[in-house]
Amino acid sequence: MTDDTAPSASLPPVVPHGSGPVSAHPALSVEGLSKAFGQVLAVDSVSFEVPSGSFFGLVGPNGAGKTTLLSMATGLLRPSAGTALVYGKDILREPDAAKQLLGVMPDGLRLFDRLTGPELLEFTGRLRGLDQGTVKERAADLLELMDLTAEPRKLVTDYSAGMKKKITLAAALIHAPRLLVLDEPFEAVDPVSAANIRDVLAHFVAGGGTVIVSSHVMDLVQRMCDHVAIVAGGRLVASGTVDEVRAGQDLESRFIELVGGRRSGEGLAWLEH
């Protein structure tokens, strides 16, 4: 991890639930995970482990199966085959225990968006079983951190795309989960908010939590993450520490080498003037 992702001293205490001795289990263990949509095999027998305490990047081209994989790993989508364990708890067989340890920011936001930001956080916190005082305190910290305090009466449905991203991340953090799974957390987020989010994630990992992010931004993954998995065409192409996977190259070059798909040539003749 580099200096620009180091935890900032002024962050609120969003530390993981149950942090303490490192768990004997990986934060996430997926085994033979597959998903077919009709004839399309979106995820094809993928197995990997996310070590407890790691900052893990999941990368792959458009349509590679990242969202499908993360949806199955977090219990949002039933796999065609395979298992996903969160700190040893099977997401399908022990969903309550697994989901208590899990905070998720899914792709394709499904929010209770007729609530204001503070109401949404309060609602989420109460659903997670937190008492009123704790919810209010954490909601205030999170709204401040995400720079969402200016319009407290605005409904989430009227938020911009980046604001929706940030309130969803705040909702995923409010119960101080131990594993945070974020699908494209920086998409549509302004640079200052992105830097704040990077800080809070680094702080979360430093406090004993584990973060999984999917992203298309290789430079960000290389700077921010210590482990990475590459998927393409529904299959796992590589996984390990960032240094192992990039094998002496920058991650973007290695990604293109492993995944392919670069078009040679001079472009579209009809676009020339």
**Interface with ligand ATP (CB under 6 A):** 37, 40, 42, 60, 62-68
Taking the least distance from each CB to ligand ATP, the nearer of 130 and 169 is: 169
- Cα-to-chain-centroid distance, residue 10: 23
Contact indicator for 29, 84 with CB cutoff of 8 Å: yes
Cβ contacts of residue 150 below 8 Å, gap of 6+?
none
Q: How far is the CB of 57 from ligand ATP (least distance, A)?
A: 13
Look at the chain and count its residues: 273
Q: How far is the CB of 107 from ligand ATP (least distance, A)?
A: 6
What sign does the CA torsion over 147, 151, 152, 153 have?
A: negative
| CA atoms of 149 and 164, how far apart (whole Å) | 13
Q: How far is the CB of 182 from ligand ATP (least distance, A)?
A: 13
Q: How far is the CB of 13 from ligand ATP (least distance, A)?
A: 33
The single-letter code of the amino acid at 75 is G
Q: How far is the CB of 232 from ligand ATP (least distance, A)?
A: 9
Contact indicator for 102, 179 with CB cutoff of 8 Å: yes
- Cα-to-chain-centroid distance, residue 243: 21
Taking the least distance from each CB to ligand ATP, the nearer of 194 and 231 is: 231
Taking the least distance from each CB to ligand ATP, the nearer of 35 and 203 is: 35
Taking the least distance from each CB to ligand ATP, the nearer of 34 and 68 is: 68
Bridge partners (DSSP) of residue 37 are 40
Taking the least distance from each CB to ligand ATP, the nearer of 1 and 258 is: 258
